[in-house]
Structure 1
């Protein structure tokens, strides 16, 4: 019995060490694979929830202070930790076909429904903007873009009670090709990468609205989406 134990112990140690290395490697690869980007100003719903509550996401005060983020954290914490991974692959430019009405903010319930809570109507925290403003998208992995498109909901749409549909949107800003690495380097901890600014014009708006961003990455047929909540003051 003692001989068997002495022979098996090194194998167990090798197995444990090997498993630990594999786990660390998996975390490294997944972390880097998920490093993509999102709208950071005005912040996308999941980026804003991560920014405000990432260091305190179990605080019960969130339920009353920031109820839409609370319901999102309860639904799937990974939607906020992976704020930069809300994308779909191989859309081929057919965004309306890939994202049914009511599912735009979740990227058509991408990632097996991880981001479904982003579609929920309600009093998401808003950013005050003028009718002419700038949207900042952060390209964390330096993908570049075939284009960015920014839409704003039409006057009369109610984000408090309605899920977002394509007929609710008006194109308010767009770019052409943005080269990989083009933009302003970020100095904010946890971001890295570069930020790209898009000029947006949405005349005639007042009150609460949703800004919807479409980012067609250049490195692959990978399209990022994001909903940001604004208040035209």
Structure 2
């Protein structure tokens, strides 16, 4: 699967981002421990169906110390405990210098953390389990929120094959089927890719590779979906 070259939500995200920054004023001690470089430099991620770390931030960013999360959203709870920065920096899950050799750069079992990028900050994203899912049909649209307007040399969208179980298996390249690819995309706050993935039921992973245009920066994004 090596790839040399392929071919209204913005306002909601902005409001939530502002609300969470305000909400965190009361947690000054915690903020001192949480670097905001990812938010400040503003890269991007898939927000629909939401990436694992964006979903955890979206649901719990303004209430991340609530003990109810452990029962209501246990995978996010574990991820928050492992490294809060993985959620605050939901837009920074990328590697540099891959030069299109995605499979060579990212080992099996580490696809959702981009090969433990960022000194392992996103390692919890690789953990199999009952992650919250987004309901989709055989045809759906991937919405990548490009905060910094990088644009894309290309985007690749994969979906796991029928029979793969995200609850018990870590993702490997052999578990994926390429279902959509694009040519170059001009900078836009929301880069949309239409996907067709028939013949699936139940919990699956959508795996999006976003090759940003501004530099050799490759984003690797896991989103949990349910085909019903």
TM-score by length of 1: 0.81
**1:196, distance to aligned residue in structure 2 (A):** 1.0
Partner of 2:52: 45
Pick the aligned partner of 1:121 from 123, 128, 131: 128
Pick the aligned partner of 1:32 from 40, 60, 73: 40
**1:155, distance to aligned residue in structure 2 (A):** 0.2
Partner of 2:212: 217
CA distance, structure 1, for counterparts of residue 181 and residue 62 of structure 2 = 34
CA contact (8 A) 2:111 2:171 kept: yes
CA distance, structure 2, for counterparts of residue 227 and residue 77 of structure 1 = 18
Alignment of 1:104 with 2:98, yes or no, is: no
CA distance, structure 2, for counterparts of residue 125 and residue 31 of structure 1 = 23
CA distance, structure 1, for counterparts of residue 94 and residue 180 of structure 2 = 20
Pick the aligned partner of 2:62 from 45, 55, 59: 55
Q: Secondary structure, in 3 states, of the residue corresponding to 2:223? A: strand
Partner of 2:167: 160
CA contact (8 A) 2:94 2:218 kept: yes
Larger Rg: 1
Pick the aligned partner of 2:74 from 61, 67, 75: 67
**1:32, distance to aligned residue in structure 2 (A):** 3.1
Partner of 1:177: 184
Alignment of 1:150 with 2:145, yes or no, is: no
Pick the aligned partner of 1:198 from 187, 193, 196: 193
Q: 1:150 to 1:29 in 2, by over 3 A?
A: closer
CA distance, structure 2, for counterparts of residue 76 and residue 231 of structure 1 = 26
Q: Secondary structure, in 3 states, of the residue corresponding to 2:203? A: strand
**1:173, distance to aligned residue in structure 2 (A):** 1.0
Q: 1:221 to 1:121 in 2, by over 3 A?
A: same
Q: Report the number of matched residues.
A: 194
CA distance, structure 1, for counterparts of residue 51 and residue 36 of structure 2 = 25
CA contact (8 A) 2:38 2:92 kept: no
Alignment of 1:207 with 2:202, yes or no, is: yes
Q: How does 1:221-232 map to 2 (within 5 A)?
A: 221-232=216-227
Q: Which runs of 5+ in 2 are unaligned?
A: 1-34
**1:220, distance to aligned residue in structure 2 (A):** 0.1
**1:31, distance to aligned residue in structure 2 (A):** 4.4
